[in-house]
Amino acid sequence: MTVPTKTDLAFRDRAAAEALLDVAYDLTDSPIGPLLVATTERGLCEIAFDPDPEEEVERLARQHGIRVLRSARPVDEARRELDEYFEGHRHEFDLPVDLSALPAFQQSVLAALQRVPYGQVDTYGGLAARIGKPKAARAVGGALNRNPVPIVVPCHRIVGSTGSLVGYAGGLERKQLLLSLEGGTLV
């Protein structure tokens, strides 16, 4: 017997409101395709392109705890800020990001990345230098490739030393779209 939508949504709301979840997630549309957005109590923990929800739910459970539930309200803020970003009205995200499940090196790379401003780009080597490890460009590339919160932590702003796009976990087309949205210039 199908559960009435109202009852289902009320349960999902209450589960989040009573702080019973390790992770809440929801799906949202964007100009670069459907996104899965997930948050813990501490902040945004995942944005996935073209998500396979079942796979993402398993991954979220492994990384943050098994109490994973689709629930719209906890990700409302992220959804709103993303919408504003895609409309060109927002250049910086205010919502907190939860990177605590990541290795320390990756955390430091992503923290430095958050300081690359809207509309500008830097290189892998440049970012390596920002964290005081100028020779670690390759390792920086690996850390960016596994960035769990693209767009908000702007790994699309990192390009090759010649200015070529090089790579993007979400596909080069998306990287190009994000950079042209921002009207990017090389630092």
Partner 1 sequence: MNAVAIPPFERFYEEYREEIYAYLRKLAGRDEADDAFQETFLRALRGYQSLQHGRHLRAWAYRIATRVAIDERRKRRPTAELPELPADDGRPAYAELDHLTGDLPATERAAVVLRYGYDLDYADIATALGSSEDAARQAASSGVRRLRRRMT
CB count in 10 Å sphere of residue 60: 24
CA distance 72 to 152: 19
Active site residue 45: no
Q: Under the criterion CB under 8 A, does residue 15 sit at the interface with partner 1?
A: yes
Question: Which range binds partner 1 by CB under 8 A, 63-71, 89-97, 133-141, 143-151?
Answer: 63-71
Calpha distance 184→112 (Å, rounded) = 18
5 binds partner 1 (CB under 8 A): no
- Nearest Cα to Cα of residue 113 among 90, 100, 97: 97
72 belongs to the binding site for partner 1 (CB under 8 A): no
Rounded to the nearest 5°, which phi and psi values hold at 16? -75, -45
Q: According to CB under 8 A, which residues from 145 to 184 bind partner 1? A: none
User: Considering the rule CB under 8 A, would residue 115 count as an interface residue with partner 1?
Assistant: no
**Would you give the binding string for partner 1 spanning residues 25-54, x where CB under 8 A is met?**
-----------------------------x
Distance in angstroms between the alpha carbons of the first and the last residue of the chain: 58
Of the residues 21, 35, 36, 155, which is catalytic?
Answer: 155
Q: Specify the stretch interacting with partner 1 by CB under 8 A; choose among 14-22, 35-43, 133-141, 173-181.
A: 14-22
Residue from 34, 50, 66, 145 binding partner 1 (CB under 8 A): 66
The residue within the footprint of partner 1, chosen from 10, 172, 186, 187 (CB under 8 A), is 10
Which range touches partner 1 (CB under 8 A), out of 13-21, 39-47, 80-88, 153-161?
Answer: 13-21
Residue in 5, 18, 180, 185 binding partner 1, rule: CB under 8 A: 18
Q: Which of 29, 50, 52, 58 binds partner 1 (CB under 8 A)?
A: 58
24: nearest Cα among 45, 10, 1: 45
**Strand-pair partners of 48:** 36
Q: Whose CA is closest to 159, among 170, 168, 150?
A: 168
Residue 11 in the binding site for partner 1 (CB under 8 A): yes
Angle at 87 between CA 82 and CA 92, to 5 degrees: 50
What separation in angstroms does the CA of 162 have from each of 84, 174, 186? 31, 19, 10
Single out the residue of 29, 31, 52, 65 in contact with partner 1 (rule: CB under 8 A). Answer: 65
